[in-house]
């Protein structure tokens, strides 16, 4: 039978996915990402799968897409390969949108990581190319607004102020153009590249319209470079995944965020899990169903990935809210339906 995916879009999606994830246990603040690197392509060694040790798995797995989800995929694949050394991995950080457009939809990758839900047009493009995309919702993020450590004039910001700063309709030049209590100094903005799912999420959640954002900011797929850019400019602002902020806690300052007159909320895994943080968002990966049916080693890797996504290290070492038991069950159901050829993506 067909499996239904979640319905995620903008701020509505944030509230709906948090209900789905409500059975997640208490999570701690993350430390450093284990084994992350700074180049675009890497072959990782990885851990144990759910198969018996006597069952030999071999073949290649190509994973494209989101730099936000990349640290999870990197660590899970490293663990999987520890017991399945004949399975090779090629992981790239192309951005969610870039990965879909340039790699996954053309059929060149098995899996595409994504920090946003797949778009309806992308689903149709997959089908036009002869395969069904299989959705796996695996973690949650607290997208973090950061400023320079010397920016002592600001500790919190509202979604309305963020919209004013980032909207092309207003595009203020100085901080004081937004708030008279802020300095009359030029805004220096850093953010995700337009190929990134983080860019898509931020523009829709903050500006209010997908793809509509001022053009005079420094965009990159390398989240560490956003932190570095903000650290190097006293009057800079940027946004980046919580996991990347926790890798740079002494380099930049995170702002609390308020919505609709509510009290500002600090970015944290607990606040993302509860739904109190206004910029909490879901994280996904998508698999090519044709490749999934054809490749036993891909089936077993995804089964391992799903089961690992609720482990404590997702929070403690990487910096995201892990899967709940319900999310694991739903993802396993999607996997089995896809293997049987009975999965159909729907919202």
Tens-digit pLDDT profile for residues 194-253: 889 999 999 999 998 766 899 999 998 888 899 999 999 999 999 999 998 987 788 999
Q: Tell me: pLDDT of 9 over 50.
A: no
93-99 mean pLDDT: 93
| Window from 113-127, 151-165, 234-248 with minimum mean pLDDT | 234-248
Q: What is the DSSP string of 158-202?
A: EHHHHHHHH-TTT--SBGGGT-TTS-S-B-EEEEE-TTSHHHHHH
Domain ranges of the chain: 10-141+281-339, 144-280
Q: Tell me: pLDDT of 54 over 50.
A: no
pLDDT over 70, % of the chain: 84
Higher pLDDT, 25 or 101: 101
Quote the CA–CA distance of 275 and 19 in Å, as a whole number: 9
> What's the CATH fold of domain 10-141+281-339?
D-Maltodextrin-Binding Protein; domain 2 (3.40.190)
Which CATH code is given to the segment(s) 144-280?
3.40.190.10
User: Which residues, other chains included, contact 71 with Cβ-Cβ below 8 Å and sequence gap of 6+?
Assistant: 33, 36, 243, 318, 319
Higher pLDDT, 92 or 53: 92
Q: Tell me: pLDDT of 262 over 70.
A: yes
Do 10-141+281-339 and 144-280 come out as alike in CATH topology? yes
Question: What is the per-residue pLDDT for 211?
Answer: 63
Quote the CA–CA distance of 281 and 241 in Å, as a whole number: 10
Quote the CA–CA distance of 268 and 240 in Å, as a whole number: 13
């Amino acid at each position: 039978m067909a499996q239904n995916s979640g319905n995620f879009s903008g701020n509505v999606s944030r509230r709906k996915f948090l209900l789905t994830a409500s059975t997640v246990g208490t999570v701690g603040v993350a430390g450093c990402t284990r084994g992350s690197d700074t180049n675009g392509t890497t072959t990782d060694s990885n851990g144990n799968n759910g198969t018996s040790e006597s069952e030999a798995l071999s073949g290649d797995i190509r994973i494209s897409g989101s730099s936000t989800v990349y640290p999870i995929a990197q660590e899970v694949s490293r663990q999987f390969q520890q017991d399945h050394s004949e399975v090779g991995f090629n992981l790239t950080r192309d951005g969610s949108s870039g990965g879909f457009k340039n790699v996954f939809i053309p059929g060149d990758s098995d899996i595409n990581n994504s920090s946003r839900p797949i778009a309806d047009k992308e689903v149709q493009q997959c089908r036009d190319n002869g395969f069904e995309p299989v959705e796996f919702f695996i973690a949650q993020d607290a997208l973090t607004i950061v400023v320079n450590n010397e920016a002592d004039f600001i500790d919190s910001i509202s979604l309305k102020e963020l919209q004013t700063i980032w909207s092309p309709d207003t595009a203020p030049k100085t901080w004081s153009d937004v708030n008279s209590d802020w300095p009359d100094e030029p805004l220096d903005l850093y953010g995700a590249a337009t190929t990134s799912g983080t860019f898509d999420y931020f523009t829709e959640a903050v500006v209010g319209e997908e793809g509509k954002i001022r053009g005079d900011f420094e965009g990159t797929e390398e989240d560490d470079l956003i932190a570095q850019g903000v650290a190097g400019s006293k009057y800079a602002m940027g946004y980046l995944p919580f996991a990347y902020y926790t890798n740079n806690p002494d380099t930049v300052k995170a702002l609390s965020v308020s919505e609709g007159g509510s009290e500002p909320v600090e970015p944290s895994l607990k606040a993302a899990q509860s739904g109190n943080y206004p910029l909490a968002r879901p994280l996904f990966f998508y698999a090519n169903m044709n490749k999934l049916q054809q490749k036993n080693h891909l089936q077993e890797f995804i089964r391992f990935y799903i089961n690992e996504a609720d482990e404590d290290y997702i929070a403690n070492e990487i910096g995201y809210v892990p899967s709940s038991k319900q999310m694991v069950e739903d993802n396993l159901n999607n996997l089995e339906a896809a293997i049987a050829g009975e999965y159909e993506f729907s919202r």
